[in-house]
Amino acid sequence: MSQASRFLSFAFVSSDLLVEVDGEHRITFAAGAAAAPGASPHAHVDKSLDEVLGRAGSWPLRQALSGLTPGKRIGPVEVLVPCGLNKVRKAIVRGFQTPDLAPAVSLGFCWEGPAVDAPTPEVSILNADSFLSSTREVLPKLDRPGSVAFVEVAGLAQPGAEAARQSVEAVLRNASVDGKTAARLTDDRFAVLRSADDQSSLVELVTAACAAENLQVAPVVSEETLDPKIEAPQMLRALRFTLSTCIEKGLESTGNVFSEELARTVQEAGRFANIVRERAFDVHYQPIVDLKTSAIHHHEVLARFGGGDTGRIIQMAEELGMIRAFDLAVLEKSLRTLRQPGSGLIKLAINVSGDSLVDDDYVETLLKRTSLNADDRRRLMVEVTETAALEDMDAVGARLQRLRQAGIKLCIDDFGSGAASYEYLRRLPVDVVKLDGRLTRSVDDERTRTMIAHLVELCRTLSVKIVAEQIETQPIADALDGLGVDLGQGWLYSKPTPEPMTMIPVTGGGPSRRTGTVRGWG
């Protein structure tokens, strides 16, 4: 007996099927007993593990192989091997990589019992949130770069297309890196996590799936490789932001397909981090005035990014979890303004994201930086966006109460824009609420006026002042004043300016108005 035959015999003592795979997980050798009685193991040669086991079935074995080094073993790994129509056979797989054969790996399959009915295939598909959760779990396990494809299939939302949509979901799941990480974002928009080197055409797969259900479609696919140099948390946040944009606008209507949007988001995130680190942004100041006298009550601090879309940049920073450092940078610039010579009467309101209030860091930093000057605290207001995600309301309320006890005023911004308005007012220790601009602009509507009147009455009972933003005309200002609103903000008085104003100019032909600065918050 040759040495090769002897070693092969010993191998079969502990395994039923011997397989060798190359560095691309493609089978180059097979010998022994196949899963199906009478079948030839050589039928597996030149096929990938994905082709033999299915994408989902091969995932745990591929994960074990990705961490293998020469001289090391893997296993036991449990897999289900298809062996006929709707039949599978359970196997326990162990592997070893000899240094002289690397990157090839020797695998031994031990059959566990006879063939059984295949489990019912999974028919559900992920949604956007579970897709991101699955991507977060899978990304660190990939041994090569991954990519995300955004797939848009017009026609799947129409009546009678349910069977075609289910077929599309099945092929996209099977095309994903682990056979699971694919999601339906809307009726006709999908996302898939794949290996960047996967050469299969999603357009062809989706087209064929729909044709089998007598539906002719023209899928649009945009795919972007995920840069392995970018840390997973930042990449996932960029992915979430990009998916939200494409869910809302689609591919063709955006002018930028998914891959371009994701690349741009990652680039903008890097630029934003540099801007915050270097304090390379400006702050402007928009006055909030007493509606009866037009005297300046305080100024809201607003960031400016050299002509960029401030709203989109802030939204991106919140989505990408980068807003905390920015909120502290705005605080730093605002304190510098308060401490300039001749600024003793100026009071400033600074915006803070809900993300900055999920722990004690922002509050601790604010109190520390104002600890040596009580006057700073007396002249500061913190505006919390009403639409911010404040999940632990009691903890946030306790943090805000610390600020209030230190003499810092608190405001709910965009009040009335979300369902939680009155819950915020009830549970947070606020001094001011700022009406959402949509209410201000609709003040000529009777129902809106009634809502504002009731809100004024409630806030007066709670000793809470009301600011109306986006006031652009005198009739709107007069109407709000008549309803009892205390303060106003908008272009009627002034656009944001590079320096705080000391008084509002009196326009010709208008009513006589007192100018100047209100000395207290009351």
Region for 425 from its dihedrals, namely left if φ exceeds 0, alpha if ψ lies in -120 to 50, beta otherwise: alpha
pTM as predicted:
0.65
Answer yes or no: do 423 and 445 share one domain: yes
- DSSP assignment string, 205-243: HHHHHHHTTT-----EEEEEE--TTS-HHHHHHHHHHHH
Mean pLDDT of 500-517: 60
Please name which of 152, 231, 213 lies closest in space to residue 187, comparing C-alpha atoms: 152
Bridge-based pairing of strands 487-488 and 465-468 is parallel
Query: pLDDT-based confidence at 503, cuts 50/70/90?
Result: confident
384 shares a domain with 329: yes
Where a domain ends, among 268, 289, 321?
A: 268
- Enter the tokens of residue 56: 């989902």
Asked if the bond preceding 429 is cis, omega within 30° of 0, the reply is no
- Last-in-domain residue among 50, 85, 117: 117
422 and 288 fall within a common domain: yes
Q: Per the structure, how many domains does the chain have? A: 3
In-domain check, residue 323: yes
Q: What is the dihedral of CA 507, 509, 514, 518, to 10 degrees?
A: -40
- 517 confidence band (pLDDT: 50, 70, 90): low
- Give the residue among 239, 171, 226, 158 at the shortest CA–CA distance from 202: 171
Specify if 136 maps to a domain.
yes
Q: What is the chain's alpha carbon radius of gyration, rounded to the nearest angstrom?
A: 32
Task: Specify the pLDDT at position 388.
Answer: 52
Q: Which of 121-135, 151-165, 379-393 has the lowest mean pLDDT?
A: 379-393
- Please name the residues in contact with 166: beta carbons below 8 A apart, sequence gap of 6 or more: 123
* pLDDT tens per residue, range 141-194: 887 889 999 999 988 988 889 999 999 999 999 899 999 999 999 888 999 999
Domain closes at, from 213, 247, 268: 268
Q: 129 pLDDT exceeds 90?
A: no
- Let me know if residue 42 belongs to a domain: yes
Same domain, 18 and 144: no
Element (H, E) at 302: strand 296-304
- Give the chain's mean pLDDT: 86
Sign of the C-alpha dihedral computed for residues 208, 212, 217 and 222 taken in this order:
negative
Per-residue pLDDT, 172: 94
Does 349 lie in the same domain as 262?
no
Quick: pLDDT tens for 343-368: 888 999 999 988 888 889 999 999 99
Query: Do 167 and 212 contact (CB within 8 A), yes or no?
Result: yes
pLDDT > 90: percent of the chain = 49
Q: Where are the alpha helices (DSSP H) in 252-322?
A: 258-278, 310-319
122 belongs to a structural domain: no
pLDDT in tens, 233-289: 778 888 888 888 788 776 655 445 788 878 888 888 888 888 899 999 999 999 999
- In terms of domains, do 257 and 308 share one? no
> Strand pairing partners for 351?
383
φ/ψ of 99, rounded to 5, equals: -55, -35
Q: Are residues 43 and 102 in the same domain?
A: yes
The answer to whether residues 245 and 365 belong to one domain is no
In three-state form (DSSP H/G/I as H, E/B as E, the rest C), the secondary structure along 305-318 is: CCCCCHHHHHHHHH
77 vs 322: CA distance, rounded Å: 40
Identify any residues that bridge with 223 across adjacent strands, giving them in sequence order. 149
pLDDT of residue 515: 47
Backbone phi and psi for residue 111, each to the nearest 5 degrees, phi listed first: -75, 135
Residue 250 lies inside a defined structural domain of this protein: yes
Query: Can the peptide bond before residue 505 be classed as cis, meaning omega within 30 degrees of 0?
Result: no
What average pLDDT does this structure show over 465-469?
Answer: 94
Give percent above pLDDT 70 in the chain: 91
- Which H or E run contains 135? helix 128-138
Please tell me the total number of residues recorded for the chain in this structure: 522
Q: Are residues 157 and 75 in the same domain?
A: no
Confidence of residue 507 (pLDDT cuts 50, 70, 90): low
Does residue 514 fall inside a structural domain?
Answer: no
d(CA 466, CA 425): 12
- Is residue 417 within 8 A of residue 438, CB to CB? The reply is yes
Say which CATH number the domain at 345 has: 3.20.20.450
pLDDT of residue 210 exceeding 90 = yes
> Does residue 78 carry a pLDDT above 70?
yes
Structure tokens at 236: 């996932």
Mean pLDDT of 72-100: 91
Residue 27, pLDDT > 90, answer yes
* Confidence label for 510 from pLDDT (cuts 50, 70 and 90): very low
Position 32 confidence tier, pLDDT thresholds 50, 70, 90: very high
Residue-range definition of the domain harbouring residue 235: 128-268
Residues 56 and 185 in one domain: no
Eight-class DSSP state of 430 = -
User: Does any domain span residue 212?
Assistant: yes
Closest CA to 226 of 155, 315, 279, 147: 147
Q: Which of 228, 231, 225 is nearest to 260 (CA)?
A: 225
Do 379 and 481 have their domain in common?
yes
Domain membership of residue 156 (yes or no) is yes
CB 421 within 8 A of CB 459: no
Res. 511: pLDDT tops 60: no
Q: Give all strands of the β-sheet with 146-152 in edge-to-edge order.
A: 182-186, 189-195, 146-152, 220-225
CB 421 within 8 A of CB 386: yes
Residue 7 CB partners (closer than 8 Å, separation 6+): none
Confidence of residue 31 (pLDDT cuts 50, 70, 90): very high
Residue 83: CATH number of its domain: 3.30.450.20
Q: Could you tell me if 243 and 172 are in contact, meaning their C-beta atoms sit under 8 angstroms apart?
A: no
Please tell me whether residues 195 and 262 are part of one structural domain. Answer: yes
Asked whether residue 508 carries a pLDDT value surpassing 90, the answer given is no
Please classify residue 150 by burial: count the beta carbons closer than 10 Å to its beta carbon, then call 0-12 exposed, 13-18 middle and 19+ buried: buried
More confident residue, 246 or 94: 94
Query: Confidence class of residue 291 from pLDDT cuts 50, 70 and 90?
Result: very high
Separation of CA 490 from chain center: 31
Residue 77 gets the label, from left (phi > 0), alpha (psi -120 to 50) or beta, of beta
- pLDDT on residue 257: 72
> Residue 311 — very low, low, confident or very high, per pLDDT cuts 50/70/90?
confident
**pLDDT at residue 30 greater than cutoff 90:** yes
Answer yes or no: are the C-beta atoms of 288 and 491 closer than 8 Å. no
User: Residue 43: CB partners within 8 Å, gap ≥ 6?
Assistant: 34
Instruction: Read off the pLDDT of residues 413-464 as tens digits, 9 standing for 90 and up.
Output: 888 766 567 778 888 889 999 988 889 999 999 999 998 999 899 999 999 9
Q: Which amino acid is at 32?
A: G
